[in-house]
Chain A
Amino acid sequence: DVKVTQSSRYLVKRTGEKVFLECVQDMDHENMFWYRQDPGLGLRLIYFSYDVKMKEKGDIPEGYSVSREKKERFSLILESASTNQTSMYLCASRPGTSGPYNEQFFGPGTRLTVL
């Protein structure tokens, strides 16, 4: 069974802290994605990666960075958390072989609160 896991379901951090959100997939997928979900705004793409050590900016990369040292793991980093980064963060993965055809598989999400 396809599985995308995220390190935490709920996280509370303070302004200025460095925050790591981890995502692991067990499907040997090349592509991985980080989204944030906010009420009334839907899902917005932060960063994606189509291979190990490769990354591309999405629509809202400001204030975030990513790391992909291994194929199965894609980390989202908030260098200095701010209150406007309070949100639900969703990780997804997809096989890289067939372009846009295949669906993305999503993790359960991490609800991050920055105080």
Chain B
Amino acid sequence: AQKVTQAQTEISVVEKEDVTLDCVYETRDTTYYLFWYKQPPSGELVFLIRRNSFDEQNEISGRYSWNFQKSTSSFNFTITASQVVDSAVYFCALSAPYSGAGSYQLTFGKGTKLSVIP
């Protein structure tokens, strides 16, 4: 069975601080994909990044960066110089082969609510 744990339920930071959102996953599959989604107050989940299990290279996109470490089964997300617009709920998710079906389930963590205070 797959599992995604986001231990931080809520985080508050002051604008311009850096913040890291933790994600730990469990799966028995050797091929899998990890995702981060952002859910702003409007409600719609927005895709941020995808990473496959064979690519441990870290990624940076503007103020966002992701650190994938298979040794610790973690896929952490860092926002540098946070802004008020970063306030949202962030979900980490895992996708792995799902037996008996032609599709694949996304297993979500419970989310981390980030509040950036001006």
- Residue tally, chain A, CB below 8 Å to B: 30
Could you mark each residue 90-110 of chain B with 1 if its beta carbon is under 8 Å from any beta carbon of chain A, else 0?
010001110001111110111
Query: From residue B65, how far is it (CB to closest CB) to chain A in Å?
Result: 19
Could you mark each residue 28-43 of chain A with 1 if its beta carbon is under 8 Å from any beta carbon of chain B, else 0?
0001010000001111
Give the docked Cα–Cα distance between A49 and B101 (Å): 10
Residues of A near B95 (CB, < 8 A) are: 100
Confirm or deny: B35 has a beta carbon within 8 angstroms of a beta carbon on chain A.
yes
Could you mark each residue 76-118 of chain B with 1 if its beta carbon is under 8 Å from any beta carbon of chain A, else 0?
0000000000000001000111000111111011110000000
Contact A96 B102 (CB under 8 A): yes
Contact A45 B103 (CB under 8 A): no
Selected from B9, B35, B101, B108, the residue in CB contact (under 8 A) with A56 is B101
Confirm or deny: B52 has a beta carbon within 8 angstroms of a beta carbon on chain A.
yes
Contact B35 A42 (CB under 8 A): no
A109 in contact with B105 given A100-B97, A101-B33 (CB within 8 Å) = no
Contact A103 B110 (CB under 8 A): no
Give the docked Cα–Cα distance between A13 and B53 (Å): 44
Contact B108 A42 (CB under 8 A): yes
Query: From residue A100, how far is it (CB to closest CB) to chain B in Å?
Result: 4
- Residue tally, chain B, CB below 8 Å to A: 27
A43 in contact with B105 given A88-B43, A100-B33 (CB within 8 Å) = no
Contact A45 B106 (CB under 8 A): yes
Confirm or deny: A22 has a beta carbon within 8 angstroms of a beta carbon on chain B.
no
Q: Which residue of chain A is the closest to B33 with respect to CB atoms? A: A100
Contact A109 B43 (CB under 8 A): yes
Residues of A near B43 (CB, < 8 A) are: 9, 88, 90, 108-109, 111
Give the docked Cα–Cα distance between A101 and B32 (Å): 8
Contact B106 A104 (CB under 8 A): yes
Contact A108 B106 (CB under 8 A): no
Which A49-71 residues have a C-beta within 8 angstroms of B?
Answer: 50-51, 56, 58
Q: Give me the 8 closest cross-chain CB pairs, A-B, nearest first.
A: A100-B95, A42-B110, A100-B104, A106-B45, A50-B103, A109-B43, A103-B47, A43-B108
